[in-house]
Structure 1
Amino acid sequence: MGDHKSSGVVTPLLAKVKPYLAIVSLQFGYAGMFIITMVCLKRGMSHYVLVVYRHAVATLVIAPFALVFERKTRPKMTVSTFLKIMLLGLLEPVIDQNLYYVGMKATSATFASAIVNVLPALTFIMAIIFRLERVNIKQIPSLAKVIGTVITVIGAMAMTLYKGPIVDIIWYSRGGGHHKTSNTSADQHWLTGTIMLLACICGWSGFFILQSITLKQYPAELSLTSLICLMGMLEGAAVALVMERDMGAWVIGWDSRLLAAVYSGIVCSGIAYYVQGVVNKERGPVFVTAFSPLCMIITAVLGAIVLAEQVHLGSLIGAIIIVIGLYSVVWGKSKDYSSSKMLTSEKGEVLELPIVDSTRSGIVEDNTNELAGKSKMPVRIPPSQQP
């Protein structure tokens, strides 16, 4: 009995914590990708080619799992779903990632991971537009989401408009490697890079919104992930062939280029698309995008150690403002989720059906009368257990 009770407590707790653990784990994966990719791009690899290889690896890794585990549950492909998958492959793998790499090269990995924190706010606005998110200003959770969104946008503007002096976030940043990059840092096109990063965030937000809509028509996360990666590879290859005329750009060896393609393909495309799809279906697109500040912190520390990157005061101030705004959005979102679950449980708690005389209706059989007894008390039907 004790084991049964403990398992009954652990299962709901695990179900509650699972989405948080999944999204937080992805932030560590993204932080590693930012650093590895920056090293790769600094050594001359074309980001157009990297996008193609990244999604080729992701397709090869995820497709076998989709073929095996979803062979019986995969819905039929329709023209509408196929067009949505084509657009998904264009929004995130091609538009978002290429613009992100351009912006990151013009600024830094730390700045890029920080400015991406505006993603939840933009996703929230788009979710309202497409009626995936409800807002009632009279309710405190909805008001918190709106205020948090405004604060997040202010933080992003602060990072864009104010650069400020260099701040040594850890003792290592005082080393010689830091001074080597100080001259080149002053020449970086921060405004152009920021515009590219903001444009990439628009594409990324659109991807999450469209993914949420597509999952309702095509509820097979592994298959959808494989198809998105496949379309991203094909569409990215078309773009790369136009932008990169030198065929030598496609040559990679056993170096950081191969590592960047394999790591980002498996972790940040294959696994990330699948995990985001699962959580997106359960909690919505705003929840999926709400944990990027953790990635920013990890990337800032790794960037200072590995890449000897400089962190500017404007980036820190903007990032702190964005984190405050995001906390408000996440709090409001969690309250919305709790209230919706409570409302669902209250509606499905007890269903009462009156006993119908079998001579007047053939719906209730004799065994129903045996279960209910000879009394006229209503039959109490417990709520169905959710999977």
Structure 2
Amino acid sequence: MGVMGRMNKWWSWSQMLGGMLAVQVFATGQQLLSKVILTQGTFIFALMTYRHLVAALCIAPLALFFERENSQKMARSTWFWLFINALTGITAAMGLFYYGLRDTTATYSTNFLNMIPIVTFVLSIIFRIERLGLGSRAGKIKTAGAILCVGGALTTSLYKGKAFHVGDGHHFHRAAAMDVSNSHMTRGTFMLVGSCVCYASWYILQVKLLKVFPSKYRATLITCLIASLQSAAIGLCIDRSKAAWRVGWNLQLITIVYAGALSTAATFCLLTWSIAKRGPTYAPMFNPLTLVFVAMSEALVLGEQMRLGIVLGTVMIIVGLYSFLWGKKTEMKSLHQSNQGPDELAKSVPQSVEFKPLEPV
């Protein structure tokens, strides 16, 4: 390989690495901004309504440019699956996550996002979409990784340990880093578990949605619009006061625009590009970085105390997730080498990392 070839390879690698790091930075900023405004009392369903309207506006030009020729009339069944897609993956999953984030901490909540591939794996086995594969070395490593992730989640939930602070105590918006009571932590944990189950169900539903509606940009656009309508309808049933739905020129508006433009639209484009270039297992390997970034940022910027239980649980989840992804990648390679048919191969693809039309939260 010549000098130009090595330079092109390095440039391609650096672009991909930069794109995936950007995704994690976007997610980190989203977690911290959301924690601050939710602590200030922002109405969650108003936030979701406005966020996905902004996301739809950002994705609309991409749908018109790349999928203009696919604008055929959609069947009623397609609208039904799009409605279920929005209800499961955004309205329910994101709503529960925001309530869990409000009642706990950003670091604690992010731990549960890394549990989504594992919960998806368990549901896939229950519904016989995926095989456990304990007969192979890769299957054993994959299963051990899943068990380690669950152990990490239990550690962060049940074991507190010694508390310590990072930094000198001068923090931005210290009011957001409130002390979480045990009752709120328990309620928030149940909300986060429910969010994980909804997200996992949503990834499994993607298989059906992509069959009936393969246009990824249009599917994301319509899903965002439907989710915005669903959030508005539920929100109006809970709180119709003007104060709950008012948005001023403040941090709430910044969070809404940030979430719609970067955490949804830009993240979707970067993930789609990554999956097309490097396959489905490349992007998820960077997800634990969000947990590290959020933990450090929350401690340094918001002044949130770190606990030994969260640190130990975080390490277990990161190691378990990487073990799970490595085992899955090895399993996929062995399937390719055995020249199995496309039907068998499709059954073995983990729905948690096969396609990500929207980055969770």
Q: Pairwise mapping of residues 1-387 of structure 1 onto structure 2 (< 5 A)?
A: 6=5, 10=9, 14=12, 18=16, 23-74=20-71, 77-168=74-165, 170=166, 172=167, 174-175=168-169, 184-185=178-179, 187=181, 189-276=184-271, 283=279, 289=284, 291-343=286-338
Residue 89 of structure 2 aligns with an amino acid whose one-letter code is E
Aligned amino acid, residue 161 of structure 2: G
Cα distance change on mapping 1:149 and 1:280 into 2, 3 Å: farther
Give the match's secondary structure for 2:50.
helix
Equivalent residue letter for 1:60? L
Q: Contact between 1:62 and 1:222, CA under 8 Å: does it hold in 2?
A: yes
User: In 1, distance between residues paired with 2:203 and 2:282?
Assistant: 11
Report how far residue 261 of structure 1 moved: 0.5
Preserved contact between residue 181 and residue 308 of structure 1 (Cα < 8 Å)? no
Distance 1:80 1:288, change over 3 A: farther
Aligned-partner residue type, residue 159 of structure 1: T
Residue type at the aligned position of 1:85 = L
Q: Answer whether contact 1:120 1:290 (CA < 8 A) is retained.
A: no
Paired amino acid for 1:32:
G
Tell me how far 1:87 sits from its aligned partner.
Answer: 1.1
SS in 1 for 2:206: helix
Q: Deviations for 1:263-321, whole angstroms, at most 9, x for unmatched residues?
A: 1111222233455567678855x776554321110001111122111121111111111
Q: Deviations over 1:11-46 (max 9, x none)?
A: 9x959x95x765553222111100111122222211
Q: Deviations over 1:140-187 (max 9, x none)?
A: 11211111111111111111111222133x3x1x41559x77995153
Match of 1:360 in 2: none
Q: Take 1:296 and 1:82, find their aligned partners in 2: how far apart are those partners?
A: 35
Q: CA deviation at 1:7?
A: 8.6
Q: Percent identity?
A: 30
SS in 1 for 2:68: coil
How many angstroms does 1:60 deviate by? 0.9
Distance 1:81 1:21, change over 3 A: farther
Instruction: For 1:106, give the aligned amino acid.
Output: D
Contact 1:221 1:278 in 2 (8 A): no
Which letter maps to 2:23? L
Query: Number of residues paired by the alignment?
Result: 338
Q: Which stretches in structure 1 are left out of the alignment for 5+ residues?
A: 348-387
Please say if residues 280 and 288 of structure 1, whose CA atoms lie closer than 8 Å, have aligned partners that are also in contact.
Answer: yes
The change in CA–CA distance for 1:66 and 1:258 in structure 2 (over 3 A counts) is same
Aligned AA (2:105): S
CA distance in 2, matches of 1:182, 1:10: 44
How many angstroms apart in 2 are the aligned matches of 1:335 and 1:259?
42
Query: Kindly tell me: are residues 6 and 213 of structure 1, through their superposed partners in 2, closer, same or farther at Cα, counting changes over 3 Å?
Result: farther
Do the aligned partners of 1:75 and 1:218 also contact (CA within 8 Å) in 2? no
RMSD: 3.3
TM-score calculated relative to the size of structure 1: 0.77
Deviation at 1:331, TM superposition (A): 0.8
Distance in 2 between residues matched to 1:217 and 1:150, nearest whole Å: 34
Separation in 2 of the partners of 1:183 and 1:300? Answer: 12
Q: Which has the higher contact order (CA 8 A, sep 6+)?
A: 2
Deviation at 1:256, TM superposition (A): 0.5
CA shift in 2, pair 1:209/1:326, >3 Å: same
**Cα distance between partner residues in 2 of 1:23 and 1:129:** 31
Distance change (3 Å), C-alpha of 1:184 and 1:334: same
What's the TM-score once normalised by structure 2's chain length?
0.82
